[in-house]
Amino acid sequence: MNRLTMMNLVPSSRLRASSASGRLRSRPLQSLALVGAIIAALPVACTAQPPATPIAPPPAATPSAPLVAGLPDFTNLVTRVGPAVVNISAEVTPKRERSARGGGPQLDEDQIPEFFRRFFGPDGIPGGPGGQGPRQPRGGARSIGSGFLISQDGYVLTNHHVVDGADTVTVKLTDRREFKAKVIGSDEQSDVALLKIEAKGLPFLRTANASLTKAGQWVVAIGSPFGLDHSVTAGIVSAVGRSNPYAPDQRYVPFIQTDVAINQGNSGGPLLNTSGEVVGINSQIFSNSGGYMGVSFAIPIDVAMNSAEQLRSKGKVSRGQLGVVVQPLTSEGARGLGLPDSNGALISQVLDGGPASKAGIVPGDVIRSVNGTAVHESSDLPPLIGNMAPGSKARLGVFRDGKTVELNVAVNELNADGTAGLAGGGDTERGGDSAGPAVKGNALGIVAQDVDPAARQRLGVKPGEGVVVRDPGTAAGDAGVRPGDVILSVGRTQVGSAAALNRALAGTQPGQTVMLLIRRGAQTQFIAVQAGDGK
């Protein structure tokens, strides 16, 4: 009898021992007789009950064939590639730290978004986007991250946010050697940095064919979470081509999503396939707590290497652009445009004089493919175009007026700030103040008014373009149209007056979906409005 059982039994015995000794000897016999009678009656009661129906079928007599032929063993992979993974320490001097703190408004810890966090190590560089930790008592602030060698002569890849703003960057190898690294270049939009250490004959990692990375395949991460050098974690690819809605400046990165455990200090480390080839650079996690919650993101290695090659050759990264603004295509929008499905990027604005304008692309066009690669969502388009060299040709599959046409566009260079150079108007909420008289009478119940010349510049609309919404009515209001919005077109039909708006809507049938191109402040977008039944 184990100790736990004895402890449960002893108290009862001791309590009985405290009573009179005569009664203690006689009562157990009476009790045993009573218990025996009860036990004797139990089988009769049990057999009187009908057998219960099993809640599930019985287990198989023999085990089923395994669906997985065996769990992977990563020991050989780690032994082979581990020496090429490095620890990176980036430091900011106390003087630089004070300057950074005083150089502009600083976000408090509770003001930092809790979604996509980029991680440093236990010590955070001031102003970094998350991962702040305790400060070094001397020597300024320090961040700890990871990286990996991509050549035998000392080129190292890591994240931009690991070394951003650092005065000194130190690279430590697995053999404990340390080198002061030179930052060859760093690119915020791709979150890639290229470093160089002075050494020869170093181990290095080979890159994978990025197009072969698929959801469901095993991947391994090696890095320095919380400063614990060369920690290994494994998981699978959850998805590829993920956009980051919480960091618009990184819309040119189609992230690899995994369930590999990534924490502070893993930033910049390699994500490897089972052949030991790099498929991505670990960069971000999705978290409500600041720690790993099962969703991690890596920069695809082809995007990273494209940035690294440009950083080495010219010190900056150039990206292609079409000169358009796109928006997601909803099922309602697809019906309004006559599309068979909601795949594609809906063009809501075209930059005057830009590549798309020169190629004849107009708002309302839907880009369905780029150089034969399908565009499923609007977020697919920026990486496809952004990773093209300025001056190169893009063959676009464009849906227009019920059919798909192919257009060739010569992309030009994206502005350094990541914008396409699109200029917007001012606040359109006050658009009705300088507009003409309101005009009623259209199938959607929109009350609109002409824009007078004095208001056009403030509203950001050209002469003869657009009408101001005074009252959106029920159907358009429910769809998201607001007073003060400027309606630029109905589908592809441009409207420059309230009368023109009424004419464009004249043939609208009850239940029909109409696409309205709306200018609101600096933003232009299509809104799908379903006409009411007229009751």
Choose, from 123, 164, 187, 191, the residue flagged as catalytic: 191
**Cα-trace Rg, the chain:** 33
Torsion of CA 189, 191, 197, 202, to 10 degrees: -120
One of 89, 190, 267, 497 is an active-site residue; which one?
A: 267
Angstrom distance (rounded) from CA 85 to CA 269: 7
| Tokens encoding 338 | 């006559």
Q: Which residue has the tokens 């990773």?
A: 387
H and E: helices and strands count for the chain: 12, 29
DSSP annotation of 465 reads -
> How many other C-beta atoms can be found within 10 angstroms of the C-beta atom of residue 462?
11
Q: What is the length of the chain? A: 535
Of the candidates 396, 394, 393, 387, which has an alpha carbon nearest to the alpha carbon of residue 414? 387
* Phi and psi angles of residue 257, each rounded to the nearest 5 degrees, phi first: -95, 135
- Helix then strand then coil, in percent of the chain rounded to 5, is 25, 30, 45
Is 160 an active-site residue? no
Q: What span, in angstroms and rounded, lies between the C-alpha atoms of 369 and 355? A: 17
Select which of 161, 224, 283, 342 is catalytic.
161
Query: Distances from the Cα of 434 to the Cαs of 440, 442, 494, 499, in angstroms?
Result: 18, 22, 21, 18
Rounded to whole angstroms, the Cα distance separating 432 from 471 reads 10
**Cα 61-66-70 angle, rounded to 5 deg:** 140
Among 309, 278, 305, smallest CA distance to 212 is for 278
Sign of the alpha-carbon torsion through 239, 240, 245, 249: positive
Q: What is the 3-state secondary structure (H, E, C) of 253-294?
A: CCEEEECCCCCCCCCCCEEECCCCCEEEEEEEEECCCCCCCC
Residue 267 annotated among the catalytic residues of the structure: yes
* Residue 394, phi-psi category: left (phi > 0), alpha (psi -120 to 50), beta (remainder): beta
- The answer to whether 427 and 403 are in contact (CB under 8 A) is no
Residues 357 and 482: beta-carbon distance below 8 Å? no
Q: What is the largest CA-CA distance in the chain?
A: 114
- 162, 90 Cβ separation under 8 angstroms: yes
Query: Is there a catalytic annotation at residue 161?
Result: yes
Q: Are 475 and 530 in contact (CB under 8 A)?
A: yes
Residues that are catalytic: 161, 191, 267
